[in-house]
Amino acid sequence: MSAGAVISRHTGEIAQALQQATDGPVEVAWLQGQSCSGCTISLLQGQYPTLEETLSEFRMELTFHPTLMAEHGEAAIESMSKSPDILVLEGSVPTEIPSAATLGETPDGTSKPLVDWIDELAPEAEYVVGVGNCAAFGGWPAAENKNHLHDVGENVTGAKGLQFEQRYQPGVLGPNFTAGSGLPVINLGGCPPHPDYILLTIATVLNGHEPDLDRYQRPKPFYEPLVHDNCKWRGYFDRGEFADKPGEEGCLYQVGCAGPYTNCDDQTRLWNDGTSVCLNVGAPCIGCMEPGFWDRFQPLDKSVERQNIFGVDVETAGLAAVGAGVVGIGAHAGRKAMGYGKSEQGGNGGQSDAADAELTADVDEQPDAEAGDDKSV
């Protein structure tokens, strides 16, 4: 099977894929940085297989997991594989205040910063996976704190993801980092990511397939579909029928929905054993799968256009002109005006114009501080 075929299979096939993958022990070291453990909770909701089945039946050796392992103290550190087949990070890495996330001790008895563990273990691992937006892009610990609550500035701990800081490289590891397999960090964005994303990605790489990654190093089969294209409210959007508040019938665009700018397949995959997804219960998409979440879509209860980040009141202009469909087109034009060019990739893999603009964002360098990060979506 191609990587795409393996990775896009749903639930029932995950077990088979993992079983094929593991004809011997597979050592996994799962570290947690500045994290709420929500990604682990998401993993625990996996149904096919359950985490327990993954660990026992498929013989994956979770040599270290701060939340799930039985050992503690030095014994726990001892049991951690120092050259794991898969190194997983959940949570961001504090670089300005390294003591904000530590694990164990250095030989001189001081607390050992997480950033040092990453530097040591990542080059020794076959695969490195950033689980969740914090580990992939910095997540909420890297948020700007625009209002300077508690009299502190933005991203006070210097939180970074493994190979990205928000939408830009580098993260903790350099832009040219590759693990033993030759792959860069595989990012599973989401706050949290879907449990299938975690287990299917592991199954895919252990089957010897290289996942096809997008420019943010996310597996395309999961992160290429546009939420907006598969949303149950799409007909309402096209007719210009908007809800005034969450939970009402209608498209949730005016109450902050980031679906037109967010890529993932959870509208069709659904969560909690295929039960539902945020939009199906009247909660706007908040763009948690995207790098830069959550600053990019703040304030979360206002439409993206109302956040005035394009300098264009597309919502009003578009609707008054020829209907709500113009909104997306206008937004695209607005973003282009802010400096994004045409995608060099030609075809956009089924993504909409809105997503196409996103694909053109530069991830190679930090934005020019003088010009400022335009916060375009």
Binding residues for [4Fe-4S] cluster: 36, 39, 134, 191, 228, 231, 251, 257
Q: From the list 18, 31, 86, 191, which residue makes contact with ligand SF4 (rule: CB under 6 A)?
A: 191
Residue 31 in contact with ligand SF4, rule: CB under 6 A: no
Least distance CB 237 / ligand SF4 (angstroms): 4
DSSP 235-280: HHHHHT-B-SSTTSSSB-GGGT--GGG-B-SHHHH-BTTTTB-GGG
Residue 253 in contact with ligand SF4, rule: CB under 6 A: yes
d(C-alpha 7, C-alpha 188), whole Å? 13
d(C-alpha 96, C-alpha 109), whole Å? 21
Least distance CB 279 / ligand SF4 (angstroms): 5
Least distance CB 11 / ligand SF4 (angstroms): 21
Q: What is the DSSP letter of 298?
A: -
d(C-alpha 193, C-alpha 191), whole Å? 6
d(C-alpha 31, C-alpha 92), whole Å? 10
Residue 331 in contact with ligand SF4, rule: CB under 6 A: no
Mark the segment that binds ligand SF4 (CB under 6 A) among 66-74, 154-162, 250-258, 315-323. 250-258
Residue 28 in contact with ligand SF4, rule: CB under 6 A: no
Residues whose CB falls within 8 Å of the CB of residue 361, separated by 6 or more in sequence, listed in order: 167, 215, 340, 376
Sign of the dihedral defined by the CA atoms of residues 74, 122, 188, 272, in that order: negative
d(C-alpha 251, C-alpha 232), whole Å? 9
Mark the segment that binds ligand SF4 (CB under 6 A) among 4-12, 19-27, 34-42, 332-340. 34-42
Least distance CB 20 / ligand SF4 (angstroms): 28
Residue 165 in contact with ligand SF4, rule: CB under 6 A: no
- How far is residue 167 from each of residues 158, 303, 367, measured CA to CA in Å? 15, 21, 10
Mark the segment that binds ligand SF4 (CB under 6 A) among 17-25, 99-107, 209-217, 231-239. 231-239
Residue 231 in contact with ligand SF4, rule: CB under 6 A: yes
Residue 160 in contact with ligand SF4, rule: CB under 6 A: no
Residues whose CB falls within 8 Å of the CB of residue 92, separated by 6 or more in sequence, listed in order: 33, 34, 35, 134, 135, 138, 139, 141, 142, 157, 159, 160, 161
Residue 91 in contact with ligand SF4, rule: CB under 6 A: yes
Q: From the list 171, 260, 291, 318, which residue makes contact with ligand SF4 (rule: CB under 6 A)?
A: 260
Q: Restricting to residues 117-146, name those near ligand SF4 by CB under 6 A.
A: 132-134, 139-140
Residue count, binding to ligand SF4 (CB under 6 A): 27
Least distance CB 259 / ligand SF4 (angstroms): 2
Which regions of the chain does DSSP assign to beta strands (E)? 26-32, 60-64, 86-90, 93-94, 102-105, 111-113, 127-131, 159-160, 186-188
Positions touching ligand SF4 (CB under 6 A) are 35-36, 38-39, 90-91, 132-134, 139-140, 191-192, 227-228, 231, 233-234, 237, 251-253, 257, 259-260, 279, 285
